[in-house]
Amino acid sequence: MHSNNHRRSMVSKASLQELESHIRDVADFPKKGILFKDIMPLLSKNLYDTIDYMGDILPVDKIEAFAGIESRGFIFGTALALKYKKPFVPIRKKGKLPPPVHSETYQLEYGEDSLEMACKHDFKNILIVDDVIATGGTYLASKKLCEKAGLNVLGIAALINLKDLNQLKQSGDTVYHLFEY
């Protein structure tokens, strides 16, 4: 039997264009007017090269830990933590993590939502990870949570940045992304 590494070395790396072709646009999902970026086909086609490209654009030496935002941020955050042998911290929806936790409530288009994160960590510099950044509201709430826990946020890494929907570049937050629309 071949090891996975051996098998990978015989298969050439996909191009970014090829990876991008596996992101599916779904109009009016989950609500009318939203153009949903479906990343599930990409995960099933080539998660390995996607994580490789994401890692290539990150300041890996500065990153002490990865925080993933529930739930699709868990996929990319965990994969990056594994690749670089660094800790992974989940940022979860309210009521999922046992105490003690920090909590942050943020505004949605209609109503509000809350995210939570464990209080104590033995590292300082953390990178937040999600699949798609739209308004940036989820990231900014996650950043506040990390800051409440005494952490220094290095920015956000996401597969896709919907740049016209957020002002994160102007706000000074570093956005690492593979694809921008």
Q: List interacting residues with ligand AMP (CB under 6 A).
A: 34-37, 69, 72, 130-138
The span from the CA of 90 to the CA of 97, in Å, is 9
Please say which residue, 39 or 97, places its beta carbon nearer to ligand AMP.
39
The span from the CA of 163 to the CA of 68, in Å, is 20
Q: Is 24 noted as a catalytic residue in this protein?
A: no
Please say which residue, 102 or 143, places its beta carbon nearer to ligand AMP.
143
Q: What is the 3-state secondary structure (H, E, C) of 105-170?
A: EEECCCCEEEEEEECCCCCCEEEEEEEEECCCHHHHHHHHHHHHCCCEEEEEEEEEECHHHCCCCC
Please say which residue, 9 or 71, places its beta carbon nearer to ligand AMP.
71
**Which of 7, 20, 104, 109 is the catalytic position?**
109
What's the min distance (Å) between Cβ of 150 and ligand AMP?
24
Cα Rg of the chain, angstroms: 17
What's the min distance (Å) between Cβ of 124 and ligand AMP?
25
What's the min distance (Å) between Cβ of 70 and ligand AMP?
8
**Which of 72, 92, 104, 116 is the catalytic position?**
72
Residue 93: which of 141, 155, 132 has the closest Cα? 141
Q: Is 64 noted as a catalytic residue in this protein?
A: no
Positions annotated as catalytic residues are 72, 109
